[in-house]
Chain A
Amino acid sequence: MLKLFLTLEWKSFFRSASFKANLAIKIFMVFGALYFMAVFLGLGIGAFYIIERQGWGDPLLVVNRFMIYYLVGDLYIRYMLQKMPITNIKPLLYLPIKKSRVVAYSLGKTVFSFFNWSHAFFFIPFSVVLLVEGYSPLGTMGWHLGIMALFFCNNFINVLVNNKDNVFYMLLGLFSFLGICQYYEMFNITVYTAPFFNALYQLPWMALLAWGLLIALVSNAFLYFKRHMYLDAGLAGKKSLAKTEDYVWLNRFGNLGTFLKNDIKLIKRNKRSKTAVIMSFFFIFYGLFFFTGAVEAYDGPIWKIFAGIFISGGFLFSFGQFVPSWDSSYYPLMMSQNIRYREYLTSKWYLIIIATLVSTILASFYIYFGWDAYLAVIVGAVYNIGVNSYLVLWGGAYIKTPIDLTSNKKAFGDKQAFNAKTLLLTLPKLLLPLGIYALGHYLISPTVGYIFVGMAGIIGFGFRNRVFALIEGIYKKEKYKTIAAYKQKT
C-alpha cells in the first residue's frame, strides 16, 4: 500500500508542469540549493565560535535565549508556505483503503517536508561542535532531541491551525510586540523561555516532555483529520462570507475605475495577493540593513540608492512583477471583453504608483537616520515611478506563469519567472540607478548623484504615453502565447 502511495507521489512530482523547466534552470536551482545548504552548515559550525569570539557569553545559552523567536519564526514561515497534506486526499476517499491509513500517510508525508529537515543543517553541526567543545554528551543529546521534537511540534501545530487566520495573526502580533519590547529592554520574554531550553541540556530527561508534547499533537492531528475526513468538513476549502462592495467613489474614473475596483477586490480577497502586499510592507524595513550600518558590505554610498529603490518599491516588485499573471485565471474573459489594453495597464500602473507613494510616506521614519537617508528613499521612489513602473509591466508580458490566487505556493519566486528577458530587464531596474548615482556622486557631488537619479525618473515619467504604446504593442503580440500559457495549470 505504501508503495502505491509513493509511486503516486513520484509521478505527481515528475509529471508536474513546473518540473518541465529547462535543464539550465534545473542546474541553476541545484546549485542554489547546495549554496544554501553550505551556508546553513557553515552557520551551524560557525555559530558557536562567532558567539564565543564576540563575547556574548556561553554559545548554548545565547542560542537558547533566542530559540523562542526561532521557533515562532519557523511557525510563521510554515503557516505562510507549507502545503497542507489534505490536498491530494480526495481521490483516495472512495477507494478501498482504510481511512486511518490515508490520514497516517498524509500526516506522515509532512514529516519529510523541507520545513523540517532544513533545520537539521543548523542543529546537527551545532550539536557536533558542542560535543567537540566538551559539553556533556548526554546533555547535548537531550537538548538536540528536545529541540528537534519542538520543530516537529511546529509541523503539527501548523497542520492543526492552518487556515485559522485570526489565531495566527494574533500570535504573530503578540510576538512582534514582545520582540519590540525586548529590543527596547522593557520586557524580556526570553528570561522566561530560555530556562526551559537550558533545562533540556541540564536535565536531559526533559526532552521526554517535548517528545510527549509531540506525540500528543500527532495523535490529536490524527484523530482530528480522521474524524473530519469528509468533503464538507476537513477537506472542504475555506469559504468566506462574501459581501458585495461597490466602491462608488471610484466611478468618477470611468473605465479606469472599473479596473481599479476589480484590482482592489483582487488584492483584498485572495491569499496570494495579500501575501504580496504584506511582503511589500516588509520591504520598507529593508533599508535598516543599510542605514544602521548593520551590514558592512552595504556601507558604500551608492548602496543608499539601492535601499531607496527597495524601500519604496516593495509593491512594485512583489505585485507589479506579476502583471498580468494576477488575472491569469480569467484572462480569456479579459481578452474577449470590450477592454482596451491601455486602460487595463493604466489601472495596474496607478496601483503601483499609489503603493509606491504610500510606502514612501510610511518610510518617513528613516528621517531618524538623517535627511540624507530619507532623500535616498524619495529619489528611489521617483525612479520607481518614472522608470521601474514601466519596466515591471513590460517584463510581466514575458513571464506568463499562471497564478493560483487562492494558494501561497510559489509566492516567493517561481523558476519560470526567470527567463533571459526578465533577467535582462532587472538590470535597468536595479543597476542602472546605481550607475547613474555613482556617476553624479563621484564626478561631482553626492547631491548631484541624487539629482541625476531623480531626473532619470522625471524624464521617464514624461515619456509615459510613448512607453505605454510600446508596452501595449508587446502585450498584443504576446497575447496568444499568454492565453495558451495560462491554460496550463499545474
Chain B
Amino acid sequence: MITVQNLTKKYGESIVLNIENLEIPKGQSFGLVGNNGAGKTTFFSLMLDLIQSTTGHIINNGVQIDAREAWKPFTSAFIDETFLIGYLTPEEYFYFIGELRGRNKADVDIHLEGFKDFFHDEILGQKKYLRDLSKGNQKKVGIVASFIGDPEVIILDEPFANLDPTTQIKLKGIIKDLAASKEVTVLVSSHDLIHVTEVCERIVVLNKGEVVRDIQTSMETLNELEVFFGG
C-alpha cells in the first residue's frame, strides 16, 4: 500500500529524517514510536505532502504523493489542531469534511451515531465552536472526522495524548476494529509504548530520523521497547 524509498529531509545541514526503505502493506496497523525530534511528525507531514522531501519519495497506493493528488480521496489524517476549523461547530465541521469526501448529511449522521459512546455527550449539540472546546474534546472531533468517508489510509499523530483514560480505551478499541477489517491501513504515532503495542501489529522505532527497530508485535515487544528507550 505504502512504499517509502530513499526518503530524506534536511533542514540546512541537519538530517531530520532518513528512511532508506519502508513497506507498509494494506490493512496493517502501523505504529511509529520515538523520542521528541525523532522525525515522526516529519514523516507524517511528508505522507500528506505538507512538506517537501529533500530526496526520495513516498508512493501511496500507486500514487507518488508529491507528484499527483490522487491519494487525497482515500487518505485522511489528524495531525494537530491545524486540521480543525475553529469557527465551526463540531457538527458543521463533520458535515464539511463529509461533503469534501462525498458524504451527505445523512451519511455523516449515521457515521456519528457509531461514535456516540466515544463522544460521551461532550461534542454534539453543545452550542460551542471548536475553538472553545477543550484540547481533549478537540482531539476527539479531529480523530472521528478522519474516519469519515471510508478512507483506506488513516494517519493519526499522537492520538492518545490529551485524551482521558476512558476515551483512550475506547480509541484503542476503534483502532483495533479498523485493523481487524484488514481494509484500512492505520498509521499511529505515540509516546505511550503500552498503547502502541496494544493496537499495532507492527512497530517501527525512529531515532534521530532513522529506523532503528522494525518489530512485528508479540508478547515480548513491550519489554524490548522499554529496554531500548530505557537504556
Interface residues of A (CB under 8 A from B): 237, 239-246, 255, 258, 261-262, 265-266, 269-270, 329-333, 335-340, 405-406, 480, 483-484, 486-487
A242 to B90, CA, bound (A): 10
Across the interface, name the chain A residue whose C-beta is closest to B104: A251
| Contacts A330-B83, A330-B84, A333-B84 given; does A242 touch B99 at CB 8 Å | no
A240 to B132, CA, bound (A): 9
Q: Offer 14 A-B interface pairs, CB within 8 angstroms, sorted by A.
A: A242-B127, A244-B92, A245-B92, A258-B99, A262-B88, A266-B87, A329-B82, A329-B85, A329-B86, A330-B84, A332-B83, A336-B49, A336-B72, A480-B50
Whether B87 lies near A405 (C-beta < 8 A) is yes
| Contacts A265-B88, A332-B79 given; does A337 touch B97 at CB 8 Å | yes
The majority secondary structure among interface residues of chain B is loop
Whether A241 lies near B72 (C-beta < 8 A) is no
Task: Report chain B residues within 8 Å CB of A329.
Answer: 82, 85-86
Give, as a whole number of angstroms, the nearest-CB distance from B31 to chain A. Answer: 21
| Contacts A240-B129, A262-B96, A339-B100 given; does A331 touch B82 at CB 8 Å | yes
Q: A265-B88, A332-B80, A336-B49 are in contact. List 13 more A-B contacts (CB 8 A).
A: A242-B132, A244-B89, A246-B95, A262-B85, A265-B92, A266-B87, A331-B82, A333-B85, A336-B48, A336-B72, A336-B77, A486-B82, A487-B82
Whether B100 lies near A338 (C-beta < 8 A) is yes
| Contacts A243-B89, A244-B92 given; does A333 touch B82 at CB 8 Å | yes
Q: Is B91 interfacial (CB 8 A cutoff)? A: yes
Whether A405 lies near B89 (C-beta < 8 A) is no
| Contacts A258-B96, A331-B82, A338-B101 given; does A265 touch B73 at CB 8 Å | no
Whether B89 lies near A242 (C-beta < 8 A) is yes
Whether B86 lies near A405 (C-beta < 8 A) is yes
A339 to B75, CA, bound (A): 12
Task: Report chain B residues within 8 Å CB of A262.
Answer: 85, 88, 96
Q: Is B42 interfacial (CB 8 A cutoff)? A: no
Task: Report chain B residues within 8 Å CB of A333.
Answer: 82-85
Give, as a whole number of angstroms, the nearest-CB distance from A479 to chain B. Answer: 8
Q: Is B131 interfacial (CB 8 A cutoff)? A: yes
A269 to B132, CA, bound (A): 13
Task: Report chain A residues within 8 Å CB of B84.
Answer: 330, 333
Interface centre among B77, B80, B86 (most CB of A within 10 A): B86
| Contacts A265-B92, A480-B51 given; does A332 touch B82 at CB 8 Å | yes
Across the interface, name the chain B residue whose C-beta is closest to A269: B87
Task: Report chain A residues within 8 Å CB of B69.
Answer: 340
A487 to B49, CA, bound (A): 15
- Counting from the closest, the 7 A-B pairs by CB-CB distance are A269-B87, A336-B48, A333-B83, A258-B99, A332-B82, A338-B72, A244-B91
Whether A270 lies near B50 (C-beta < 8 A) is no
A336 to B127, CA, bound (A): 28
| Contacts A244-B89, A405-B86 given; does A336 touch B128 at CB 8 Å | no
Give, as a whole number of angstroms, the nearest-CB distance from A381 to chain B. Answer: 30
- Per a CB cutoff under 8 Å, which of B73, B79, B127 touches A243? B127
Task: Report chain A residues within 8 Å CB of B100.
Answer: 255, 258, 337-339
Whether B75 lies near A336 (C-beta < 8 A) is yes
Give, as a whole number of angstroms, the nearest-CB distance from B103 to chain A. Answer: 11
Give, as a whole number of angstroms, the nearest-CB distance from A274 to chain B. Answer: 11
Give, as a whole number of angstroms, the nearest-CB distance from B2 to chain A. Answer: 15
A404 to B59, CA, bound (A): 35
Q: Is B52 interfacial (CB 8 A cutoff)? A: yes
Whether A242 lies near B129 (C-beta < 8 A) is yes
Across the interface, name the chain A residue whose C-beta is closest to B97: A337
A330 to B48, CA, bound (A): 14
Give, as a whole number of angstroms, the nearest-CB distance from B208 to chain A. Answer: 22
Whether A239 lies near B99 (C-beta < 8 A) is no
Give, as a whole number of angstroms, the nearest-CB distance from B90 to chain A. Answer: 9
A265 to B95, CA, bound (A): 14
Whether B50 lies near A335 (C-beta < 8 A) is yes
Across the interface, name the chain A residue whose C-beta is closest to B105: A246
A237 to B128, CA, bound (A): 13
A241 to B126, CA, bound (A): 9
Give, as a whole number of angstroms, the nearest-CB distance from B72 to chain A. Answer: 5
Across the interface, name the chain A residue whose C-beta is closest to B131: A406
A421 to B51, CA, bound (A): 24
A337 to B49, CA, bound (A): 11
A337 to B82, CA, bound (A): 12
Across the interface, name the chain B residue whose C-beta is closest to A239: B132
Task: Report chain A residues within 8 Å CB of B129.
Answer: 240, 242, 269
- Per a CB cutoff under 8 Å, which of B76, B77, B79, B128 touches A242? B128
Whether A332 lies near B50 (C-beta < 8 A) is yes
| Contacts A258-B100, A265-B92, A332-B48 given; does A239 touch B128 at CB 8 Å | yes
Give, as a whole number of angstroms, the nearest-CB distance from A490 to chain B. Answer: 16
Task: Report chain B residues within 8 Å CB of A239.
Answer: 128, 132
Across the interface, name the chain A residue whose C-beta is closest to B95: A246
Task: Report chain A residues within 8 Å CB of B88.
Answer: 262, 265
Task: Report chain A residues within 8 Å CB of B126.
Answer: 242
A402 to B69, CA, bound (A): 25
Across the interface, name the chain A residue whose C-beta is closest to B145: A333
Give, as a whole number of angstroms, the nearest-CB distance from A261 to chain B. Answer: 8
A330 to B84, CA, bound (A): 6
- Per a CB cutoff under 8 Å, which of B72, B79, B80, B95 touches A337? B72
Whether A270 lies near B72 (C-beta < 8 A) is no
Task: Report chain A residues within 8 Å CB of B83.
Answer: 330, 332-333, 336
Task: Report chain B residues within 8 Å CB of A336.
Answer: 48-50, 72, 75-77, 83
Task: Report chain A residues within 8 Å CB of B97.
Answer: 337
Across the interface, name the chain A residue whose C-beta is closest to B151: A338
Residue-wise, chain B 59-79 has the 8 Å CB interface mask toward A (1 for contact) of 000000000010011011101
